[in-house]
């Protein structure tokens, strides 16, 4: 029994002593530990190829080795676990996935040409064709977005530009880059002139007088501007809305009217005016009116109704032809200007 225990102890300690007597590896002695390769969550590449170092961190050798084709510019591809396993084995990469859901999204960087840039170039082409003013442009291809490789020169050109003024359409061929293009595609669309119309900057109530500082401008396509819409600021200044009017909307002629200087039912000053005299009395407006309007007014003394021209806030003017509708003139006023004597007959 004692001999058996001695043999067992020797079997246990001999391997330990053997391992202890082995020389340590140089890197371990220096305290350096090699980091295991780690899969990146996502990556963006610029070229045509995906390389090993694009997919994994801590790749000591072969990081520049191509392992797959990159997607088209502006596109992306997802590499699943089985594909990643194949790549790692083929490159003898000591990679161990953390779970069975490991994957990586690879995107391809690109230089883009969008609708905004194309429309700006169309505007320049239209100017060369004699188009004046602002233009509204609608491309037949809605919201176009072309992706080109990142390493290509910037810029493009529209070749064979044609503009039909009668139909309001254009056609062209897009070349990108401008020299040695890799993208050649047809571009077409509609063109319409843009008109600026006055709008109110604030909400205006009836009775509010519209002033110059109340007016802003809104750009509309020419066909959107109906004949009833006011197109000049002068046609709004000094007017008042017939009903509450919101800001930012085109104004029709029927939406506004001249400021009312005489209100129906209110007292007014009536002025009877001729070339040689002027009489004043009080009256009551039968109708409302703006500057220059002819309204009916009742003379408070004679109770007669006459027609008078609105001349200012709260007063109207009656010309000499309407003098009989007022109170009779004083005898002195009549005698002051007697009629000329009749000529004697020969």
Q: What pLDDT does 340 receive?
A: 54
Q: What confidence tier does 14 reach under pLDDT thresholds 50, 70, 90?
A: very low
Tell me the per-residue pLDDT of 289-339, one tens digit each, with 9 for 90 and over.
888 889 999 999 889 999 998 888 888 998 865 444 444 444 444 444 445
pLDDT over 80 (residue 104)? yes
* Residue scoring higher pLDDT (123 or 21): 123
Tell me the per-residue pLDDT of 22-37, one tens digit each, with 9 for 90 and over.
444 444 444 456 789 9
Where do runs of H (alpha helix) occur along the chain? 2-21, 26-30, 52-55, 81-90, 115-128, 331-336
Could you tell me what percent of the chain has a pLDDT over 70?
83
Sequence-ordered list of residues with C-beta below 8 angstroms from that of 201, at least 6 positions apart, any chain: 213, 214, 215, 216, 247, 248
Q: What pLDDT does 9 receive?
A: 39
- Nearest-angstrom CA–CA distance, 193 and 223: 9
Asked if 56 contacts 39 with a C-beta cutoff of 8 angstroms, the reply is yes
Looking at residues 118-130, what average pLDDT do you find? 94
Looking at residues 146-170, what average pLDDT do you find? 94
Domains of the chain (ranges; CATH) run: 38-108 (no CATH), 112-193 (no CATH), 195-257 (3.90.1210.10), 261-333 (2.30.30.760)
Helices first, then strands: H and E counts in the chain? 6, 23
* Residue scoring higher pLDDT (273 or 148): 148
Looking at residues 186-208, what average pLDDT do you find? 94
pLDDT over 50 (residue 13)? no
């Amino acid at each position: 029994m004692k001999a058996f225990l001695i043999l067992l102890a020797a079997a246990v300690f001999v391997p330990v002593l053997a391992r202890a007597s082995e020389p340590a590896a140089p890197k371990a002695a220096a305290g350096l530990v090699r980091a295991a390769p780690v899969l990146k969550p996502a990556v963006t590449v610029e070229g045509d190829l995906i390389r090993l170092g694009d997919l994994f961190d801590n790749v000591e050798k072969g990081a520049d080795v191509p392992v797959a084709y990159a997607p088209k510019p502006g596109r992306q591809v997802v590499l699943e676990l089985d594909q990643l396993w194949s790549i790692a084995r083929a490159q003898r990469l000591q990679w161990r996935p953390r779970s069975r859901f490991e994957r990586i999204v690879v995107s391809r960087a690109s230089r883009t040409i969008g609708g905004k840039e194309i429309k700006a170039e169309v505007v320049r082409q239209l100017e060369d064709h004699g188009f004046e003013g602002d233009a509204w442009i609608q491309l037949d291809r809605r919201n176009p977005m072309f992706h080109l490789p990142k390493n290509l020169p910037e810029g493009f050109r529209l070749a064979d530009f044609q503009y039909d003024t009668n139909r309001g359409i254009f056609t062209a061929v897009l070349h990108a880059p401008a020299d040695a293009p890799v993208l050649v595609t047809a571009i077409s669309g509609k063109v319409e002139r843009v008109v600026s119309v006055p709008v109110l900057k604030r909400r205006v109530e009836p009775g509010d007088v519209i002033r110059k500082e109340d007016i802003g401008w809104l750009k509309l396509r020419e066909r959107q501007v109906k004949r009833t819409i006011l197109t000049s600021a002068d046609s709004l200044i000094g007017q008042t809305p017939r009903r509450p009017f919101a800001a930012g909307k085109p104004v029709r002629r029927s939406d506004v009217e001249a400021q009312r200087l005489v209100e129906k039912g209110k007292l007014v000053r009536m002025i009877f005016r001729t070339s040689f005299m002027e009489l004043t009395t009080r009256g009551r407006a039968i109708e409302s009116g703006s500057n220059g309007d002819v309204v009916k007014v009742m003379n408070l003394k004679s109770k007669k109704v006459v027609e008078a021209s609105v001349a200012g806030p709260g007063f109207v003017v009656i010309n000499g032809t309407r003098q009989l509708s007022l109170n009779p003139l004083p005898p002195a006023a009549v005698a002051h200007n007697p009629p000329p004597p009749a000529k004697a007959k020969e």
